[in-house]
Every structure is written in C-alpha cells, then in structure tokens.
Structure 1
C-alpha cells in the first residue's frame, strides 16, 4: 500500500510540474458549423514535427520552438480540411477554427461494416454500429477494456470470474448474448488473435475461446466501433454476433493520466476497503515533416489487488471427520457426542487461527503492463507503409478451494496442519505485429498486409502440495505447464468506386480480396511432480491413507502431462467479393460473398445482403440478411487434460479428451465441424433537428451445430460405490480402460441449435446551453433472448436417453439461455460548464437465471426447489466530477456503484447451517444442498450480471500538452 501511494505521489508531482512547465503558444478551439466542439480533431503544423489534437471540449494548444510564419492544417474524418498561415511573433495567440460539416454529427464517423472508402456515420451506416470514443472509455474508473464496454455498450456483456482457474485472468465476453468466440475482434481493421485459453470451468462461455481485450492499453485507443450484425461474409470466421474494431491513436498531444481507487463497501454488515487499484498511462503521437506520416506510442500499467466477498464455511468440523451414528446409539447421545466433538474442533480452530472465512471469492490479484506503437509513413500521395505492434505482460494470482485438515487424501498435515488455500498464478504474454501498405495502382485502391499475434499462458501453482508424495517431501510450488496460441494472417484487398452520370445506378463500389491464415496451438507439459502420483522417475510410489489413494499432482491444478502435450497447426485460404451500389441519394444496396477453405475440416461459403432506404429527411430504414460461420478453434479440437475427483473416498480420473481419443469415438462423436448461422436485422436510424440521433434495430440469429463442452459422463455406481457392469457409460469406458481407472469423461461436440432474438435502441441528444456549457444525453438499451431449440448428439447418444440427458444438461442449457442479462439499459448525462464537467450514468442489468444440473422440480430427486434461482434486475449508478484547472491539467473524483448495490444472495438451505447438527454429515450431494458451496459463495458466480465488489471510489489526474 505504501509503495502504491509513493508511486501515486511521484507521478502526480511529475504530472503537475510537467503541465505547468508546458507553454501554450497557439491555442483555441475547433467546432462544427453549428458551434458544437469537435473532440479529437487534428491540428498539424505543415512541414514541422508539430501537431496536436483537440481535447474533450474541442480545445487545443501547440508550443512553437521559435517565431516565424507557419501553415496550420485542421482536419477530422468526414469534414473538409482547412488550412491557414499564422505569424508567430509573440508568446501567445488564440485562433479558433470552424470546420465545414456534413449532414451528420462528426464524432460518429465509422469505417467498420462497409468496404467503401466514403466515410459514414453510425446513423448513415447500412448496419447498426456503436461508436465509443476515447473520451467514453476514460470517463469513469474502469481501467480494463472489457469492464469499460460492459457499462458503455448495452449489447456487450462481460464480468470478471472467480475460482475458475485461468478464466479468473481473462474475462469472457458476449455480444448480443452469444458466446465469446462468436464475435470477431479487429485492430485497425486487421484480425486480432484469440487467447491460448479455452474456458472449461463453470462460468459463462464454458467451452469457448475468446479474445483478450484487456491486452490492449486503453490509452492507445482512438475509438471503438462495435458492429452489431453478422459479418462473416465480409470478415470471415467468428463474426456471427458482430465485429469489434479497435482503432488506434494517430497524431495526438502528450497525454498522461494516473488514478487510484479502492472498494468502499458495507455489504454483509462488514466494511470492505479492498481491491485497491493503481493505474498510470501515457500516449503521444508525432507527425513527420512534410505530411510524411506519423508515429504514436501509448502504454499502460495497472496494479489491481484482490477482493473477497466470500462467506463463512458452514461445515461444522474442520479438523475431525464427521462421526456416524451407531446402530444402538440414541439420537440424544449422538448429538451430545457430536456437540462435544464440535466444541473441541472449534477450540482447536480458534487456537490455531483457522478462519471460517477461508476463501477468496472475488477479483484476483492482477498486474498488467503493456504498450502499443502505431505508425504510418507516406512515400507519396499514392503509397504508404503502415504498422502497429503491441506487447502486454500480465501476472495474476487466483485462489482455489480451501483444503481442510480433514481432507487427508488431499493434504500433507506435516506441511499444512491447519489446511491451505492454493493459488493458481499465471504469467500471460501477448504480442502482436501488423505491417502493410496502402495506396493506388491505376484507378484501384489496394491494401496488402501481414498480421501476426501470439498469446502464451504459463501456470505456476503455489501454496499447495502433491499429496501423493511421502509426508514432508512435497514442494509447495509447481510449474504446471503452458498454453500457446499463435496466428499469422496475410491479406490483399482491392477497392474501386465507379461513378455514373444518369441512369438508375449513380455509383458502384467494388471490393475484392483474399486471405491466407495459419493457426498454431500448443500445450506444453509441466514438471513431473506437478502431475505425478508419487514420483515414478525416482521410483517413489504414491502414498496411501489407510486403504485410500491420495490425489495425484498439485492440488487445485494438476499440471499438464507429457501425454497431454500437443503442437497442432492448420491453415485456411479465403476469397471475397463485395459490391455496394447507390441508386440516387436515397437507396443503398450491398451484396457480399466469401469462400473459405480450411485444411482440417473443408470449405464454407457465406453471403450477405444489406440495404438502406432514406424515407424522409435524415431518417432511413435499413436491413440485412446474412449467413455466417465459425470454424471450430484448434483449442476445442485438441485440448485435453486430466484431473482427479473423489468417488466414495477414492481418487479417480476425469478426462477432457479431444476428438482423436478412442473414448470419443465410442460415443459415436466425430470431428468437429463449423457452426452455421443465418441472421436478419431491420431498423430505423436518423437525425432530427441536427442534434438528436437515434438507431432502433431488431435482430434474429439462428445457429446450428453450435459447439458445446459436454457434461461429465461418469461411470454408473451403486450407492456403496460399486460399478454397475451393465451401465452404458461403463461399457463405453471399459473398451479403452478395462481397469476402471477413468471415472468420467467430457469432450467437445456440435450438439445444439439455438435462436437469439432481440432489439437494440440508442438515442442521443446534444444540447448547446451557451458558449461555455452543453449537455449530452444518451439512452441505450438491449433486449435479448436465446433459446436452445434442439439437442442433437450422435446416433449412439440419440438412441440412449441416459447418454442424451448427460450430453447437455439443464445447467449447461442455462449458460446459453439465461446466464447473461436478458435486457440492459444505459442512461448517461454528461454536463459541461466552463471548467467543470459532471457525468452521471446509471445502468440497469436485467435478470439472470441459474438452473441446477439435477432438476429439483422432480420429486424423486429430493432436492430443494430453490436450487433453481432467478436473480432480480439491479440499477448500478456511477458518477464523476472533473475540473480543468488549466488547459493541460484535469482533476477527477468519482465513484462507481455509488449506492453499493449487490446481486441477490444465493439460496442457502437451512439444513446447511453449522448450528443445526442433524443432517450436516449427510450432505453428500455434489456442490452441497444449496448453491453456496457450504456457505462460502454468497453471490452467484456461474452467471454473469454485474459482479459483486460493491462501491468503488477513485481519484484521477490527467495532463495533456
């Protein structure tokens, strides 16, 4: 804490001094023709390495090295550039610029969704596109990109996960309620690689592979364009839900900011002041002389401490095994004996300092540092070279489940006599590089590029043991292996626009292109002791506890074995054509088609038709129909590992197997094939009275052959733990595992057909309240519903009701249908008066529902009905107040979740109460007789609503010069 405060004081001091030393020689503001300021406009001194851009209030300032005559150019995408000469002969001058505007609001210009070279705004776009500016992403305290988008974009959903292995460090995200792998991410219009992690734990997005948006520094971002429409025919695989295009900064002034904050919550009758977060970032873009291009460097560092909102462990005995009632023992005698044992157990826990609040349920520890470099060099007017490269290094520490002293087959009491909380520590490296050239060849525009990216995740398991080693000999730290994914994409794009005089068609934009991509996925084994039973290489057998085997490998995360190690690659070749025709000023039609051929599963053809008709004024009707696909990821195709679970007190193996494994073929499951989608949208978009804009879009998405991660197929056993010889799963597993060492198996397969329907609404109005004040109001909402229409297994699975029921149980179904909010509403007011800015935002997160794997509504299951639980909608309100002390320095204070709102609490079964002795020792249902895991989880973690860290207060200092 002291180190963080010292860092903050130092950076604040440095920032303030730097700001005060910077002299503003030429200053002013840039507006449109109506007088509204334009943030992000570029002011460049032609022929010199001087330039800047306007701030959030349209103001700028440039320091000149000496007196003389300079030519100034002011530009912004979608506006006509203006140039003027100025004589600098004094220490200070003021010059304002008014750019000639088009018929639309300038700050809403986007490039995603169309291959036309003509810039359009989000209300002119033929498909729905959200535009999120650099001001939007830095208004509040969220410092991770996924968290920023979760509160800014209603159709986007993402929350940090807890006690979920690697998923604690990489947030799964959703667009329009679909999976993390059904949205394509671009950076400067080029495909971004995914992570090396496949989510296999009990979180939203289970079985999917997403993109780590948090590996991109927020300080490097000029704007984010969110295309909410199927676009596989334009951009290829993964774009079923839409596309997120992150546009990097270009020529910008020096910009520094630093912030510090922490939780200030009073939930559960306790005061929480954890989750301290320190953030510092910078960016600067330099213009080359004589319009030769630019280079921009941006970096960011985030240090986030963990939060804990866990409850007390309700298991009555921490050191002693639960006693059993003797056949001749009376109930009163048994309870007296039980109470005496519990009193002694409690006294021992108190003496040894064993806290019943023994988990970390909340955000993990995380440190995230990285940079991005973006640049362009102009050879001449018809040719340039561009590049972008970034590197991020993240470390994290996430806790698992606490191991009690009573769990003797999972613990070494000579090392941890009071139990232990194991940690999964990760080192994540993300590297990307893109280089290309744009220009003209004859009358054609061309863009040729190559983009490479790599993501690696190393797992180190700490504060744990390999319980199978002789007592006192186990290490407490293990290297458990590494995941790696790399991708290389080469593109060639050609574009030409034809103009016609007379006739029905007035213009035709044609675009053609091709892509060649190589993917590589690797699993690297950990150290022997991270996965071994005993130490076979040294001739040390696995340890026994009585007649029971101990657990193999590092507790909480056994390492990858040499048998799990893989190195698999594939390639694909694609070609596309895109035609966009204008029929006068009111009608725009587009058609696109794309053919792709993959080396591992074959080919696919996708197409898309879109259209827009201007009804009257600036109001248009737009619609689209598209087919799409998502290629199975290499992770889903080849990931495999082994873990240990205990059945009747005995450790048995649980396998995650890939489609090459003989066990999978026994289920009749073949190789994975692509997911296929059909989607349609229809909407209205427009502008009224120059300042009010709106978009209203309805959508419907059908997806067949969706890839799911199956439920566990466990061996059938009697109540005493004996195998049932006639069990269908037993017969399947025995064909490859006659010694019954494997207890259960799970795998990826194309199993379900879904339908997703919804509505997106975005309303924005800017009020010019005078020369020094304005108000921007935004109301944005999303309604969304996903339904699993059918479950389709192999012929063998379909023929057996038991196999089909286990393929995709009701818990897995709820992850698709009800684990993200069915609706979200965002209301934001941004009021600026002179040097003061006040922003208030309130977001309504709709209801989510959790379904238990075993149906509690079936009387025979004898389970509490509340195991199925719906969590009510909640409003989360944030505010920030900023003061511009001068042209360079801005001070901000604020709070997120100012009213300290939490989700509904999880259902707690009254029988799971440490003060109620009867029934405690018989709680042998997996996961407990409620959803709290013996009281330790008070809020839902298997579904994604808005998290549970409570109120967060912060302060921020920003300097621009």
Structure 2
C-alpha cells in the first residue's frame, strides 16, 4: 500500500510540474549553423548548448520562455508554444565587416566589430580582385601593414619571399590554416635584403581558390598561440562550399612581353550524404622568366675584375715576400704603401709599371668589347621561371549530433629555374700579374684558364664568352590536420593532430669547381676535370603538432577556454655531392659540406587558460595566460589582457590590449652553417661563411647560444560606425622586443669572413593602423563602395646597445628602415548590372637604405610611389564570368636617390666621379640599377596584364 501511495504521489507531482521537450536549430543571418549557442529557460538554471550542426534539445516547463544568447549576437527570447523552434540570431552593432572571427581568442568566437583586438577580414573575392598570381602578393595589395617582395637575386631565395606584419620579419608572424599551425619553410633566408636571417611559412603555395577568407590579427598573440606570434597571426580559413564549384583559367603577360603566365584552377565541393562535406582545389600554374637587368658600367667592372693596382700586387714582386729589399711580412696596407713609395724610384719598379699599364689597356679593351655586345653583362635579374602544382582538400563528417571529424590536407610542388650573376670572360683572369710572362696581354682570353673554352665554348679561344650558372630549386610542401570536435553539456572539445613539412633540393648547372686541388699523382681534381653540373644538397623541415582545446559559454557573461599543445620539430641539412662543396665548391652556389649537414630535433609542450567576461553588453574583458616549455632552451610564461567598451548605441568602440610574448629561435637559426657566395661592394663576388652557435668555431670565438626573444605588446584602438554605411577603426601599437635575434654582419676571424646569429639588442616598433569602409552608395543605376586603409610607422629602431661589433649601418637599415615608413591603400568598387569595376591605389612611402660599400656620409632613399591596379569583371551569364586586370596600370617602377647625411655627403654628391663610384658600389656596377643589390618594396616588372575566365558548375 505504501508503495502504491508513493507512485501515485510522484505521478501527481509530475502532473503539477509537467515538462515538454523543445528542439530545433540555431543559424546566423547567412544561414550557417551556430554551435555553442547558450539556450536557457528563463528564470532557471536549466540550459543547454547547440551542437555542431546548430541543433539543440531542452526540456522545459509548460509556458516557459527560452533565451538564446551568444557572444557578439543580440540576445533573443521566444515562447515555447510549439515543440519545434528554429532561431536566427543577428549580430550586434549593425556594423559592416561583422563576420564572425575565430582568430584572437581561445574562448567563444565573436563578430569582428565586437572583438577586443584589431582583425582584418579579407574574403576570397577580395583576394581575386587584386589580379595577383599568388596569395602573398594579393595580401600585399590588400593589407597596409603586410609587406612582401621578391628580391633581385635568384638562387635559393627565390623559393621564399619574406613577408611581415608591422616591419617585424616573417619569423614573428604566425601562419594558421583553419586555426592550426602551418609548418615553416626549410629555407633560412640569408640574402642581404629585408628579411635577412629570417624564416617563415611558404604562404605563396596556398591556392587562392581554396580560401574562403583570411583573418589577420594585428596584435601580439603568443599567449593564445605560442611562439612566432609576436607581430600577429594570419589565419587562413578554407572553403566549405558544396555548391558553386568552378574552374578558373588565367593568363597574363607583362608590358615588356615577358613573364608569361598561364594557370588553371579547379574548386569544387560536395556533401557526404547528410553527414558532412568535402571541398577540394587543384591548381596548376606556370610563370615564365621576366628579365630586368641593368646596364653594366664598363669602368666599374674593369676596376673590380681586371685592373692591376701596383700597390695591391706589390707583395708579388719577390717570392720571398720582400719589396725593394724590405721584408713586408705582417705589415699593414699603409706600411706597405710607405715601402712602395720608396721603391717607386727603382728601375725594376719602372719596368714592371710599364708592363702593368700596357696590360691594363688590353684588359679595358676586352671589357669594352664584351659589354658592347652584352650591355647587361649577360645577367638575368628579377622574376624567375616558376611552375607549381597545388592540391588542397577540406572537409568534415558528423559522427552524431554532438561529435564530428574534420580534416584538411594540402600538397604543393614548385620548381624554380633561375640564374646566378653572369660570369663574364674577364672575371676569371689570372690575378698574379708578376708571375705571368704574358702580362702585356692582361685581360686577353689567352691568359684565362684554358679549360674554360672547352667547358663553355667550342674549344677555341674566340668562342669563350663567359658562362651563366643556373639554379634549379625543387620544393615540396605539405600539411594535413585530422581533428575531432564534440559538444557535451555545453563544453566544446577540439582535439587534433597536424603534420607538415617543407623540403628543398637544389641543382646547379653550367658552372664549375675552380679549386686548385691535386690528387696523389699531382693531377688537378677540379678545374679542367671539374663537372659542370652539381647537386649542392638541400634542406627540409617538418613538424608534428597535437592540440587539445576546450571551451564553454558558461553564461551570457562568462566564456572560458583551456588547452594544450605539444609539438615536435625536425630540421635536416642534406649533404651535397663532393664536387659541389670540395675546395671552393660549385661556382655561384657551393654545396652543403658533410660537417655542416645533419639532422636536429626538439619538442615543446604548452598550455593556456583563457577567460572572457562581459561585465555588461558593452564592456568586455578577456585574459589569457600561457606556459611553454622547450627541450632546447627552457620555459616561458606569457600573458595577455584585452578589453572592449561600446557606447553611443554601439556606434563607437574603444578597445585595447597589453601582452607579453616570446619567440623561440628556429632550428634553422640554431644549426645552419654554410659557405656562400655574395656580391661584396668593390670586390665583386666573394665567398664567406655562416657559423652556427653550437659549433666548435663558435666556442672558440666565444659566441653564446641563442635565447628566445621576449616581447611586450600594447595596442589601443577606436572603432566607429557614425553612419549606417560608414565604419572605421584606428589602432595604435607599440611592440618592444628584447634579446632580438639577428644574423650579424660578417666579421674577419681566424676562420675567414664569417657571420653568426646572436641575441643582439632590444628594439621598439610603434605605429598606427587605419581602416575605413563606405559601402553601397547609389550612383546612377549602380552601387559604389570605397575603402581606405593605411599603416604609419612612428618608431622602428634599436633601443639598447648591441651585444658585439657585428651590427653595422647596412644591417640596421635592412631591419628598421628598408620597408616603407607609411603605406596606404585607397580602393573603389562600382557595380552596375553585370559589370563590376574595381580600382585600387597603393601608396608606398619612403624607404631608406645603407647598402654595403656605401660611403657612411650618404644614404639611399626609395621615392614614394603610387601603384594603380584596375580590374573589370563581366558576368556574361549566370555561370560564366570574365575578369580583366591591369596591375600597375601606369607602369610605375622603383626609383631611388642618394641623400647626404652631412656636409661631407653634400661634397660627394657634388662630384660626378664620386657619385658614379658610389652608384657602382651599391648596384654591382649597374647590374641592379633600379633596385640596388639590397632589394625593393614593390615589383620592378612594371605593368602586368591578365585575363581570366571563371565558369561555375
């Protein structure tokens, strides 16, 4: 009886408090499912979260009201009359550019206008309207604080164009794909140009047609993402489209008639039943050589390679190292000159001087004769021939309403064919005139090494015209992520593993090993027996990254995130064939020596905690702390605090952040060691070395091991939406980097002229970013939109003493003044019926250089320029679109001038002969007259015309 009464009581109680089940989906204005939306029964603690598909299910009392809330979206309330309730959430603020962004927070995603941080959102359409061939170059003309450029010297450097945000170098910008870390390139960039000593991910290999949008966080983000995010983060979001597949065919050519480009790209997608999707992209492209060599100055080349200076060669007068009976062993150049002055009056001197002068006359004739037929010195500068194949796939599969597998994978193969500097016939004359019985024929091919005419001619003296070493780079780059997402009781769990790698192998042809090395029988191993094709080796980098990220919207005020990352990295330098490195190695690009080759590995473990708290609908505070522990240099703890305040009916937003950060030295910077060829002002092509910090040579020289860089970032900004169609943001940033890692200048040591990496000094970079959009203005029968964005650098300099004496004026300029002081982009788009007209004007401000060899009383400045791009899209049918682009419409080219630092500099500039000498020093005697040898900040190719056809399936 008691049991019966108890059951009856429970049934009656249940009847009094009867509940009902409510279910449905939550989507945004674009129709996309929203996961993690908080659904709460009003007046209770009863709540659930929407799952990966936006679905939810909740049991509520009769007559209950449901509250739907999500960060950055308007809170909405609904009654529960019907058991099926589908809800569309609208974003707060009513501003433009309010896409939901996932970059910059480890808690819940927010709309762009409600984030605490400055984030640029660039769509696929934005990228394609630039008319640029590669992703990195498209960003160059869309984001003012982003800079990248192709350097004028094309060997291994042609496989990676350095890029950067806020003048901080590629090592300090983290690249993500769908929120997961992209692998670095295997190349350590050592060219004397902006980006020297850096490495970064190869973003040029990412096909534009695979990209849905790009989120660029212009703020330090090491606490959220770990190393490499001191300057910011570029998060590439891949397409999820299952409809509107398309094939794009593109062709183009420069106004000079070279640089022909042909590409075809396929993007398509499909659903996988009703459980998921897959989207894939296949891209083929070929770009031919575009050559922009300068005219070589005959006098400069004669002075560098042929002219005999009696003072320089006076030590050869006697084999016992005496000059006029005086032992000159150990003397300085000044002391030798003093001895030489006394020696001038002797008969022996006068006889030798007459012979030398006659030889110089002959040599100058040879130089003039060659350059008359080859005014560019045989050089091939600028843009190399490149062929690329790119494949990318992105997809997911729902295991249940609350669990999902997701994946993406990419593979890129790139082949680059380029040239070293042309070896003119007079480069290889015998440099000891006093040992040459035919000195009166100095500069004549009869005194060149005789085997050269057999290697690079038909065996006759007249056929030898020098030789042009080629460089071929084969690049393979891959990355893949497999992940698992789940939602349980409102907790979002994301576990993933990412693998990625980049490998590069090199081939040098049409060259030689000129080393004087003899075998046991006295036969020269190289020179006349040298191969003319070499395999100098290469390099590779790979990583494996595991991520676990957990987040939850605890209420309409609090969101938390916690996670960890474990990463292992491997860097390999592959040994070249012996002929490529033995002795002097392959002329132009020597191979990797066995002692400099090897395999190195490290791992790190990191963890973070993120908390976001909305004190009100207007006031938000977000904090993050991260701990990271590396196997090779120890641990780092960093933090970030950011906030945002909205007022005046959400039309004005104040935001700011302060954070600390770190950057671990890359394995490339720690272990790379190599001999390399480079142009030295006034000395032609010379060989020098890079020694690493863990080598025996470094210990002898007292070079310390590398420590991580540490940073302090401050950002303060304002955003406003004064009119319905007008919005703008202004953000000030200040970045201090301590223990900055640099590749120093070369220093004369007992190991020759060598450079090394070191934690050299502290630096500060500050400036302002401005972004404005004014859209959808009715004009005639069309609609007009404007956008203006800019970056202004206030300060970019060293703020502490340097650690050693290997940081000179050239390196200082490359790091701090070689990028434009300001860059602005003004664009307009006019859409009328089937025609979409876009015009973009990019202003590149002044950039200042101190090239190697330049007189200390001078500097060079690149003149501010405006590059105008025009694009016309015509929708011929619903499926077919034609696009015509003219990049650099007015054929604007880089232009630089000498500037005096003081009165001495003014005097130099008033002397034409000295001006010419300085010009030759920094342009390799005119070979790089338009760019100088240190590079430039926009393309020297001039106008590029392209036409593309896009067909939708």
* Aligned twin of 2:664: 631
Change (3 A) 1:320 1:176: closer
* Aligned twin of 1:474: 530
Once the 2 structures are TM-superposed, how far is the Cα of residue 643 of structure 1 from its aligned partner? 3.7
CA offsets, 1:115-160, max 9 Å, x none? 3334312x22110000000001111320111100000001100011
Provide the C-alpha distance between the structure 1 equivalents of 2:820 and 2:528, rounded to a whole number of angstroms.
Answer: 49
* Aligned twin of 1:603: 635
Task: Determine whether 1:300 maps to 2:283.
Answer: yes
CA offsets, 1:417-473, max 9 Å, x none? 211121221000001110001111333110000000010010111121112354543
Task: Determine whether 1:117 maps to 2:117.
Answer: no
* Aligned twin of 1:436: 483
Provide the C-alpha distance between the structure 2 equivalents of 1:854 and 1:699, rounded to a whole number of angstroms.
Answer: 35
* Aligned twin of 1:594: 626
Task: Determine whether 1:779 maps to 2:811.
Answer: no
SS in 1 for 2:692: coil
Provide the C-alpha distance between the structure 2 equivalents of 1:651 and 1:776, rounded to a whole number of angstroms.
Answer: 52
**Contact (CA 8 Å) 2:684, 2:924: kept in 1 or not?**
no
* Aligned twin of 2:822: 823
Pick from 562, 587, 595 the counterpart of residue 512 of structure 1: 562
SS in 2 for 1:460: strand
SS in 2 for 1:414: helix
Task: Determine whether 1:178 maps to 2:178.
Answer: no
Change (3 A) 1:786 1:166: farther
Once the 2 structures are TM-superposed, how far is the Cα of residue 475 of structure 1 from its aligned partner? 2.1
SS in 2 for 1:481: strand
* Aligned twin of 1:58: none
Greater shift in the superposed pair: 770-779 or 227-236: 770-779
Pick from 455, 459, 467 the counterpart of residue 420 of structure 1: 467
Pick from 691, 699, 702 the counterpart of residue 668 of structure 1: 702
* Aligned twin of 2:80: none
* Aligned twin of 1:145: 135
Once the 2 structures are TM-superposed, how far is the Cα of residue 346 of structure 1 from its aligned partner? 4.2
Once the 2 structures are TM-superposed, how far is the Cα of residue 876 of structure 1 from its aligned partner? 0.3
**Contact (CA 8 Å) 1:251, 1:287: kept in 2 or not?**
no
Task: Determine whether 1:322 maps to 2:307.
Answer: yes
* Aligned twin of 1:903: 894
Change (3 A) 1:847 1:403: same
**Contact (CA 8 Å) 1:480, 1:560: kept in 2 or not?**
yes
Provide the C-alpha distance between the structure 2 equivalents of 1:475 and 1:404, rounded to a whole number of angstroms.
Answer: 19
**Alignment of structure 1 residues 65-80 onto 2, 5 Å:** none
**Contact (CA 8 Å) 1:238, 1:630: kept in 2 or not?**
yes
Change (3 A) 1:310 1:380: same
- Structure of greater Rg: 2
Once the 2 structures are TM-superposed, how far is the Cα of residue 340 of structure 1 from its aligned partner? 6.4
Change (3 A) 1:392 1:348: closer
**Contact (CA 8 Å) 1:277, 1:305: kept in 2 or not?**
yes
* Aligned twin of 1:747: 756
Once the 2 structures are TM-superposed, how far is the Cα of residue 324 of structure 1 from its aligned partner? 5.6
Provide the C-alpha distance between the structure 2 equivalents of 1:142 and 1:903, rounded to a whole number of angstroms.
Answer: 18
Provide the C-alpha distance between the structure 1 equivalents of 2:247 and 2:874, rounded to a whole number of angstroms.
Answer: 16
* Aligned twin of 2:738: 704
* Aligned twin of 1:287: 271
**Alignment of structure 1 residues 862-877 onto 2, 5 Å:** 865=858, 868-877=859-868
Task: Determine whether 1:930 maps to 2:921.
Answer: yes
Change (3 A) 1:831 1:332: farther
Provide the C-alpha distance between the structure 2 equivalents of 1:570 and 1:185, rounded to a whole number of angstroms.
Answer: 20
Provide the C-alpha distance between the structure 1 equivalents of 2:667 and 2:773, rounded to a whole number of angstroms.
Answer: 42
Task: Determine whether 1:256 maps to 2:255.
Answer: no
Once the 2 structures are TM-superposed, how far is the Cα of residue 928 of structure 1 from its aligned partner? 7.5
* Aligned twin of 2:334: none
Change (3 A) 1:694 1:651: closer
Once the 2 structures are TM-superposed, how far is the Cα of residue 691 of structure 1 from its aligned partner? 1.9
Provide the C-alpha distance between the structure 1 equivalents of 2:684 and 2:786, rounded to a whole number of angstroms.
Answer: 61
Provide the C-alpha distance between the structure 2 equivalents of 1:328 and 1:152, rounded to a whole number of angstroms.
Answer: 66
Task: Determine whether 1:226 maps to 2:221.
Answer: no
Task: Determine whether 1:881 maps to 2:928.
Answer: no
* Aligned twin of 2:446: none
**Alignment of structure 1 residues 323-342 onto 2, 5 Å:** 342=364
Provide the C-alpha distance between the structure 1 equivalents of 2:777 and 2:657, rounded to a whole number of angstroms.
Answer: 35
CA offsets, 1:187-222, max 9 Å, x none? 000011110011111111101111110121111100
**Contact (CA 8 Å) 1:309, 1:938: kept in 2 or not?**
no
Task: Determine whether 1:360 maps to 2:380.
Answer: yes
Once the 2 structures are TM-superposed, how far is the Cα of residue 954 of structure 1 from its aligned partner? 1.3
Task: Determine whether 1:375 maps to 2:367.
Answer: no
Aligned length: 788
Task: Determine whether 1:524 maps to 2:574.
Answer: yes
Provide the C-alpha distance between the structure 2 equivalents of 1:229 and 1:839, rounded to a whole number of angstroms.
Answer: 30
**Contact (CA 8 Å) 1:673, 1:750: kept in 2 or not?**
yes
Once the 2 structures are TM-superposed, how far is the Cα of residue 347 of structure 1 from its aligned partner? 4.6
Q: Please report the TM-score for the alignment, with normalisation by the length of structure 2.
A: 0.78
SS in 1 for 2:563: strand
CA offsets, 1:216-258, max 9 Å, x none? 1111100000000001001110100000000000024211111
Task: Determine whether 1:957 maps to 2:949.
Answer: yes
CA offsets, 1:627-684, max 9 Å, x none? 0000010000000112468999999963311111232223432111100000101111
Once the 2 structures are TM-superposed, how far is the Cα of residue 836 of structure 1 from its aligned partner? 0.7
* Aligned twin of 1:209: 199
* Aligned twin of 2:841: 842
Once the 2 structures are TM-superposed, how far is the Cα of residue 491 of structure 1 from its aligned partner? 0.5
Once the 2 structures are TM-superposed, how far is the Cα of residue 356 of structure 1 from its aligned partner? 3.8
> Please, which runs of 5 or more residues in structure 2 have no aligned partner?
1-26, 34-70, 75-87, 311-343, 431-448, 457-463, 516-524, 901-911
Change (3 A) 1:649 1:451: closer
Once the 2 structures are TM-superposed, how far is the Cα of residue 881 of structure 1 from its aligned partner? 1.1
CA offsets, 1:720-749, max 9 Å, x none? xxxxxxxxx4xxx3xxxxxxxx32221110
SS in 2 for 1:931: helix
* Aligned twin of 1:657: 691
**Contact (CA 8 Å) 1:42, 1:251: kept in 2 or not?**
no
**Contact (CA 8 Å) 2:149, 2:939: kept in 1 or not?**
yes
Provide the C-alpha distance between the structure 2 equivalents of 1:588 and 1:101, rounded to a whole number of angstroms.
Answer: 16
Change (3 A) 1:661 1:575: same
**Contact (CA 8 Å) 1:848, 1:943: kept in 2 or not?**
no
**Contact (CA 8 Å) 1:320, 1:345: kept in 2 or not?**
no
Pick from 262, 265, 276 the counterpart of residue 260 of structure 2: 276
Change (3 A) 1:623 1:348: closer
Change (3 A) 1:446 1:772: farther
Change (3 A) 1:337 1:455: closer
**Contact (CA 8 Å) 2:477, 2:501: kept in 1 or not?**
yes
SS in 2 for 1:148: helix
Provide the C-alpha distance between the structure 1 equivalents of 2:894 and 2:561, rounded to a whole number of angstroms.
Answer: 49
Task: Determine whether 1:156 maps to 2:188.
Answer: no
* Aligned twin of 2:9: none
Provide the C-alpha distance between the structure 2 equivalents of 1:907 and 1:789, rounded to a whole number of angstroms.
Answer: 24
**Contact (CA 8 Å) 2:151, 2:193: kept in 1 or not?**
yes
CA offsets, 1:552-591, max 9 Å, x none? 2111100101111110000000110000000121100011
Once the 2 structures are TM-superposed, how far is the Cα of residue 315 of structure 1 from its aligned partner? 2.8
Provide the C-alpha distance between the structure 2 equivalents of 1:120 and 1:905, rounded to a whole number of angstroms.
Answer: 43
Change (3 A) 1:337 1:691: same
Provide the C-alpha distance between the structure 2 equivalents of 1:262 and 1:178, rounded to a whole number of angstroms.
Answer: 33
**Contact (CA 8 Å) 2:872, 2:883: kept in 1 or not?**
yes
SS in 1 for 2:251: strand
Once the 2 structures are TM-superposed, how far is the Cα of residue 943 of structure 1 from its aligned partner? 4.1
* Aligned twin of 1:788: 797
**Alignment of structure 1 residues 27-106 onto 2, 5 Å:** 103-105=94-96
Once the 2 structures are TM-superposed, how far is the Cα of residue 400 of structure 1 from its aligned partner? 1.3
Provide the C-alpha distance between the structure 1 equivalents of 2:480 and 2:429, rounded to a whole number of angstroms.
Answer: 48
